[in-house]
Amino acid sequence: MLNIYDAIPEGLLDREATDLHEVLPGPSLIHLEGRHKEPLFISLLLHGNEVTGWQAMRSILQKYQDMLLPRAVYLFIGNVQAAKEGLRYLEGQPDYNRIWKAGGEGPEAVMIRQLMEIVAQQKPFASIDLHNNSGRNPHYACINRLDKRFMYLASLFSRTVVYFIKPDTVQSMAFADLCPSVTIECGRPGESHGVEHAVQYIDACLHLTDFPEHEVASHDVDLFHTVAIVKVPSHLSVGLPGEVADICLPSELDQLNFCELQPGAVLGSVAQQTVGTGFLATDESGQDISERYFEIEGSHIQTRLPVMPSMLTLDKTIIKQDCLCYLMERLDTGHIT
């Protein structure tokens, strides 16, 4: 299932994300030589509709087309078939950013084990996973280890850094066992400043020769900890204003991303009083903590505690396939080791 290349396939850099399937028959791992031999691992298009990663990487590869890269690269281009259709993933496919935990089954799990074995042998220097959001969010970076190397890698992209350990099936979690790893969130697809920001970041990482011994200063980052994943229960329908549904979301909901909400903030409304707390929130251990964070007052779903959401989306497909949002709390950088 994994296609392996030792050079950029002919015609690849001429293709938009939606056309990569014309050159790549499926998920592909491309190894490129560089002055520094320990490779930078870069993954993109794990979600086929998140195209900023490819746009940025294509720009980087065009820049260095006639010269040696500053550092060797392993480039993993993920779900090209979903990218063809402009979708996160196709019906019958797994989510390519939920297949990275060891021990999985199926062809995708076999592919990931093969990929990890290949890259681990080369002792990767660092790992970058490039993503977009469907809702309005600032550009930010995510880490899965409270480690100063991970924090430094994240802070090169944004002062806003999110620490999470769930879901634990993501690419950055798998690579955290091999090297400093980070997920970068580049805003919504189609935004030119997201591509430009990603290009600058990738280029900076290619020129890194080592990680500094000192810690990132606390005043240089805003560190948050993801404490809950919020979903709409599978038996409830979700809609936007004017639609008939069990739960109706405000049309400007995603403007609340990375806003510190106080108790009583309204995140939705219910059509009837038989839906519990409205949303389902689970913590890092998978425990239901919905009643800790949400309550229904009248017809409104509102917060019970101060909290900061991220990745709030109005895309009903993504809400059902993945989640409505994550909830975060501020974390002191003193936890970094």
Q: For every residue of 33-86, which 3-state class applies, written as one string? A: CEEEEEEEEEEECCCCCCCHHHHHHHHHHHHCCCCCEEEEEEEEECCHHHHHHC
The pTM for the full model equals 0.92
Mean pLDDT for the stretch of residues 220-248: 94
CB 89 within 8 A of CB 95: yes
Q: What is the reported pLDDT for 275?
A: 64
Q: How far apart are CA 29 and CA 31, in angstroms?
A: 7
The string of pLDDT tens digits covering residues 93-112 is: 999 999 999 888 899 999 99
Q: What's the CA dihedral at 320, 261, 195, 314 to 10 degrees?
A: 30
The string of pLDDT tens digits covering residues 186-197 is: 999 999 999 999
Q: Closest Cα to residue 68, out of 36, 104, 105?
A: 36
Q: What's the CA dihedral at 249, 254, 259, 260 to 10 degrees?
A: 20
The string of pLDDT tens digits covering residues 23-39 is: 999 999 999 999 999 99
Helices (H) and strands (E) in the chain, counts: 8, 17
Mean pLDDT for the stretch of residues 207-220: 90
Kindly write down the DSSP assignment for every residue of 121-175, as one continuous string.
HT--SEEEEEE--SS----EEEESS--HHHHHHHHTT-SEEEE---S--SHHHHH
The string of pLDDT tens digits covering residues 320-335 is: 999 999 999 999 877 7
Which fold does the domain 3-220 belong to in CATH?
Aminopeptidase (3.40.630)
Long-range contacts (CB closer than 8 Å, 24 or more residues apart) made by 192-197? 194/52, 194/132, 194/139, 195/52, 195/55, 195/56, 195/59, 197/139, 197/157
Q: Closest Cα to residue 302, out of 241, 258, 256, 243?
A: 256
Mean pLDDT for the stretch of residues 240-245: 92
CA distances from 86 to 51, 54, 95, 132, 324 (A): 9, 13, 14, 13, 20
Q: Which tokens belong to 192?
A: 């030119």
**What residue ranges do the domains of the chain occupy?**
3-220, 226-331
3-class SS shares of the chain: helix, strand, coil, % to 5: 25, 25, 45
Does residue 86 register a pLDDT over 90? yes
Q: Across-strand partners of 53?
A: none
Report helix, strand or coil for 254. helix
Does residue 62 register a pLDDT over 80? yes
Q: How far apart are CA 181 and CA 2, in angstroms?
A: 22
Q: What is the reported pLDDT for 285?
A: 93
Mean pLDDT for the stretch of residues 288-308: 94
Q: What is the reported pLDDT for 214?
A: 87
CB 144 within 8 A of CB 181: yes
